[in-house]
Amino acid sequence: MTRIRVASPLLRTGLRAQIPDRPVVLVRRSIGEVLRRERQQQDRTLREVSAAARVSLGYLSEVERGQKEASSELLAAICGALHLPLSFVLREVSDDLAVAEGVGPRRAHPSARAGDVVAAA
């Protein structure tokens, strides 16, 4: 049987060579930053969101500060409490990481309307 090896998109575009020169960004910190940013945009407290997500206030605080890795179940509960699709949070994290790595632009928030101006990082 012949094995076919497909190069990753990063290798094909030459982006892999750029990544080691960039600072390492922890995914858990980026997830926490996105969750905190969204919670604060909704003018909600840690207490309100932790109660709605059925997560301890201390644990939610640690997740937001990037000190704890949230399981997929916990992340889904927090997203539910914030009325955000998990895909939106993960897309925001992906965009933040791409910007930090210097390989991608920021996208508009889902509530943005056509013609809105989106600030670049």
In this prediction, residue 117 carries a pLDDT of: 53
**Structure pTM?**
0.68
Q: Which residues neighbour 109 within 8 Å (Cβ) at sequence distance 6 or greater?
A: 118
Model confidence band, residue 44 (pLDDT cutoffs 50, 70, 90): very high
Model confidence band, residue 7 (pLDDT cutoffs 50, 70, 90): very low
Please state which architecture CATH assigns to domain 9-101.
Orthogonal Bundle (1.10)
